[in-house]
Amino acid sequence: MSFRERIHFMGVSFIHETMYGLFMKAEDLLLAAGVDKGQKILEVGCGPGFFTIPAAEIVGEEGIVFANDINPFAIKKVEKKIAKKNIKNVKLLLEDVTKTSLLDDSIDLAFFFGIIHSLVNIIDDVILEMDRILTKDGIIAIQKSKMSADAIAELIEKTNRFKLIENTKRIVKFSRRK
């Protein structure tokens, strides 16, 4: 990790920890994404973990949150947060989202908050991985940050594996094209 990336992460953490909560309630966005009790979910690009603990609380003891990030600083930060709160249903994955260690057909819902714009160049590999790990009724939920619903739908649907099923104020959702 370069010095520049480290500084960038510190900036992202600062913004998330001081300002995010002022205009966004993590739980509202997660519920809009379809996160529910008992689910096994993947949080793609968890960053400093603004959504991780609220997601773990929603899925509850019978569910699990796999919090994924390519940045070791992000994973360390979330590791500290979950240890402090003694949260047991979060597993950390320091991996590229295109090559996770998750099992085939093992995830009910994968959510992408604040990240989709940075995956545009690798979207085919991202979608191939989602196709592998999501259950047959699995859902991809994407926050409309920096990209419109139309642009996100075009990006995801060009792979011919998932189709748009819902477009709400802040989230777009996709299911398998059966």
Ligand X SMILES: C[S@@+](CC[C@H](N)C(=O)[O-])C[C@H]1O[C@@H](n2cnc3c(N)ncnc32)[C@H](O)[C@@H]1O
Residue 178 beta carbon to ligand X: minimum distance, rounded to whole angstroms: 27
Residue 115 beta carbon to ligand X: minimum distance, rounded to whole angstroms: 4
Residue 50 beta carbon to ligand X: minimum distance, rounded to whole angstroms: 4
User: Which of 102, 98, 91, 97 lies closest to 67 in space, CA to CA?
Assistant: 91
d(CA 115, CA 146): 9
d(CA 35, CA 27): 9
d(CA 161, CA 46): 24
At residue 113, what are phi and psi to the nearest 5 degrees? -110, 125
d(CA 100, CA 90): 15
- Cα dihedral 84, 90, 91, 92 sign: negative
User: Which of 94, 161, 171, 91 lies closest to 126 in space, CA to CA?
Assistant: 161
Nearer to ligand X, 48 or 63 (CB): 48
Nearer to ligand X, 66 or 113 (CB): 113
Residue 45 beta carbon to ligand X: minimum distance, rounded to whole angstroms: 3
Tokens of 94: 């320091």
Residue 9 beta carbon to ligand X: minimum distance, rounded to whole angstroms: 7
- Neighbour tally for 148: CB within 10 Å: 11
Nearer to ligand X, 46 or 64 (CB): 46
Nearer to ligand X, 123 or 164 (CB): 123
Judged by the rule CB under 6 A, the positions of this chain that interact with ligand X are 12, 16, 45-47, 50-51, 68-71, 74, 96-97, 113-115, 118
Nearer to ligand X, 69 or 108 (CB): 69
